[in-house]
Structure formats: structure tokens, C-alpha cells
């Protein structure tokens, strides 16, 4: 009853239970990169998987600001490679690793797909004999 009255006075419309505070506490700790094992012990869970069900979003998930930065940078530099893009993002405050960037680009479908569907053609190959003859011919022309 005390919690319901307090929530009502605070202007909260949803139902509040003691477990709501427990859930909020665990989620906030996980989002701020607290040690999962410590949280597990604080909450009294037997299994770490139970603790990992708390966050609504994974702590390693990119923020909206990071995704906006990636989209803007990729839009302005559509043809640069992953490493160059990562370096440009690092200069603007991006703190994640290259594999994390690749996963986001792949999820956003903004990565460069190096595969092309053109049929392969053999390279022009000249035998050493042909190269030597061309060289001699060039020398004679001089």
C-alpha cells in the first residue's frame, strides 16, 4: 500500500511492486557495466542466466548516438573500407572495436559487400619469352 500511494503521488500510472525496484536496480547496474557475477550475488540468483534476463537491452548494444554517427559517416564516405571508417569514427569519439563496427554495419546493411557477380576472366599472361622479346623490341626502337 505504501508503494502504491508513493507511486500515485509521484504521478506514476503503472503498477509498482517491490520487484519493480529490484528489476530497475539490476538493469541500471548492467547498463553501467557492473560485474554480472556481483549482481548475481546481490540478487541471490543461483544461475547467471537468470541475472542476464534483466536488461531490456544488452550493455554492449550501440547507443542511438553511435548508430547515428555511423550512419552519417557511412553516408558521407560510402566507398571507404572498414578500417578507414573505424579510424574516422574513432577521431569523433567512437569507442567500440572494429568487429563491433562490422556487426552494426552488417545489421544496418551498410557494409561494403566485396563480392560481385561478374564472371571471372583469366588474367592476360605473357610467357617469359614474350616479355623478353617485347623488351628487346623496345630497346631496338630506341
List the chain domain ranges. Answer: 2-52, 64-108
In angstroms, the CA 127 to CA 35 distance is 64
Residue 70 is predicted with a pLDDT of 92
**pLDDT given at position 69:** 92
Question: In the prediction, which pLDDT does 59 show?
Answer: 54
Query: pLDDT digits over 23-42, tens only?
Result: 778 877 877 778 888 888 88
pLDDT at 110 over 80: no
Read off the pTM. Answer: 0.41
Give the pLDDT confidence of 47-78 residue by residue, as tens digits: 877 777 765 555 567 888 889 999 999 989 88
DSSP 58-96: -TTSPPHHHHHHHHHHHHH-TT--HHHHHHHHHHTT--S
Amino acid at each position: 500500500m505504501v508503494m502504491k500511494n508513493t507511486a500515485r503521488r509521484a504521478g506514476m500510472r503503472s503498477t509498482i511492486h517491490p520487484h519493480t525496484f529490484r528489476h530497475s536496480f539490476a538493469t541500471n547496474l548492467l547498463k553501467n557495466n557492473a560485474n554480472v557475477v556481483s549482481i548475481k550475488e546481490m540478487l541471490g540468483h543461483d544461475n547467471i542466466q537468470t541475472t542476464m534476463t534483466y536488461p531490456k537491452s544488452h550493455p554492449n548494444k550501440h547507443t542511438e548516438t553511435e548508430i547515428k554517427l555511423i550512419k552519417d559517416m557511412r553516408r558521407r564516405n560510402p566507398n571507404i573500407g572498414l578500417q578507414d571508417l573505424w579510424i574516422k569514427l574513432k577521431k569523433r569519439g567512437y569507442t567500440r572495436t572494429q568487429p563491433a563496427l562490422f556487426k552494426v554495419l552488417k545489421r544496418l546493411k551498410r557494409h561494403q559487400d566485396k563480392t560481385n557477380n561478374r564472371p571471372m576472366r583469366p588474367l592476360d599472361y605473357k610467357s617469359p619469352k614474350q616479355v623478353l622479346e617485347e623488351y628487346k623490341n623496345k630497346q631496338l626502337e630506341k
